[in-house]
Amino acid sequence: MKARIVTLPGDGVGPEVTDAAVAVLKAVAERSGHTFEFESHAIGGCAIDATGQPLPASTLEACKKADAVFLGAVGGPKWSDPHAKVRPEQGLLALRAALGVFANLRPLQVHPALASFSPLKNEKLKNVDVLFVRELTGGAYFGAKTRTEDAATDECKYTVAEIERVTHRAFELARDRRQHVTSVDKANVLETSRLWRSTVQRIAADYPDVKLEHQLVDSMAMLLLTQPSRYDVVVTENLFGDILTDEAAALAGSLGLLPSASLGAGKVGLYEPIHGSAPDIAGKGIANPLGAILSAALLLRHSLELEIEATTVEAAVAQVLSNGPYSRDLSGNATTTQLRDAVISALDDVATPAFLCGLRACG
Ligand SMILES: NC(=O)c1ccc[n+]([C@@H]2O[C@H](COP(=O)([O-])OP(=O)(O)OC[C@H]3O[C@@H](n4cnc5c(N)ncnc54)[C@H](O)[C@@H]3O)[C@@H](O)[C@H]2O)c1
Ligand SMILES: CC(C)[C@H](C(=O)O)[C@@H](O)C(=O)O
Ligand SMILES: [Mg+2]
């Protein structure tokens, strides 16, 4: 197949991990006979420096025309003045809104070789396989903001329609997994959460084969650490999902490991590792690229519908996690490019005839 992929490397370690993900996608294309065309555009702090805007119109236009968009990370201390009028993160939020990608899928699995990096004991790490479905285009991130000398507000608003569409997505995903949805809210305090809970409860009636439970976000933060294998699909609002998934990454062993796919009703998906621009390690060539590479696998699966190719990349990453090399966040010495090359070389070990044929209908 032929696909056009827009890359938005962004700031800090963003370009370093994007380079690795693109190299893996190119290696997949070479081996399976697909043609992927890449086009890079500016977003975030580097776009502010170049154009004054965190999401230049030319970047957004290119993203809307693409088959899929891959983003590294945005932000950093250079653009973090609390009084700044424009911020890199605004570019990312505007992009998510413009693409209408309301469902942010963040899968968590724990590789057995990384058990010692997790705060959990071995027994509790067994069978951890959680899919977070984070609402991505509503809530406090997108409500009205006010600021005076001595006060500030961020409105948190959700409409029924916004809750319904992400809930449907979560239940559909649960049907193909272990038929269990946990909806996380703060319904004991927040009106938006009470609307969330009643809407999720109503939608659940359309999916009698899927079990629903509700959990308050504060206790969920604890349960995620103490009983992670209890959870299958976890659906929650924007801010809670942001926080819980960084916590989830700690269970996996490093923030550098978790991927994400942001999907909407339209064709274009946005793919990014869940970590940020990691200013403390940027430019050193030591960022862990595996979250970015796994995001590329999600791109293959969800936007290009190349399931065999996606599974092959995931198997290659799993092989690297079993055998090494490991990056600094996992107590190794491997650089970002060494990890990238190790994954590409592992592709050849795990490749199946179906992968090598791609859509060329060989044999
Ligand atoms: N999607 C995004 O673009 C995104 C996501 C989160 C944060 N940010 C932005 O990134 C900037 C820095 O935020 P932060 O420091 O709170 O979070 P961060 O995720 O950038 O870093 C947190 C910690 O995790 C480490 N880390 C992150 N990614 C890593 C990787 N791939 N390999 C190894 N270690 C890694 C960092 O070195 C740091 O110690 C902020 O401007 C924030 O807004 C952007
Ligand atoms: C950079 C920031 C706007 C972003 C978010 O909060 O959504 C990030 O933390 C993430 O998890 O993708
Ligand atoms: Mg985050």
Low-confidence ranges of the chain (pLDDT < 70): 358-363
The CATH T-level fold of domain 1-104+256-363 is: Isopropylmalate Dehydrogenase (3.40.718)
| Ligand 2 centroid – CA 242 distance (Å) | 6
| Ligand 3 centroid – CA 274 distance (Å) | 6
Hey, how many other C-beta atoms are within 10 angstroms of the C-beta on 54? 27
Domain ranges of the chain: 1-104+256-363, 119-252
**Marked catalytic residue, from 129, 154, 246, 341:** 246
pLDDT at site 363:
46
pLDDT at site 11:
98
Domain pair 1-104+256-363 / 119-252, same fold: yes
CATH number of 119-252: 3.40.718.10
Is the distance from CB of 303 to CB of 68 less than 8 angstroms? yes
**Marked catalytic residue, from 11, 124, 185, 186:** 186
Place of tokens 């509700």: 214
* Spatial distance between the Cα atoms of 275 and 93, rounded to a whole number of angstroms: 15
What pTM, to 2 d.p., does this model score? 0.97
186 annotated active-site: yes
Q: Whose CA is nearest to atom 30 of ligand 1?
A: 256
pLDDT at site 120:
77
Which one, of 167, 166, 170, 191, lies nearest residue 179 by Cα?
A: 170
Place of tokens 């909806």: 183
Q: Tell me which of 11, 13, 92 to substitute to probe ligand 2's pocket, judged by most ligand atoms within 8 Å of the beta carbon.
A: 92
* Spatial distance between the Cα atoms of 342 and 39, rounded to a whole number of angstroms: 25
Q: CB of 73 closer than 6 A to ligand 2?
A: no
pLDDT at site 358:
64
> What SS3 state is found at 342?
helix
Q: CB of 247 closer than 6 A to ligand 2?
A: no
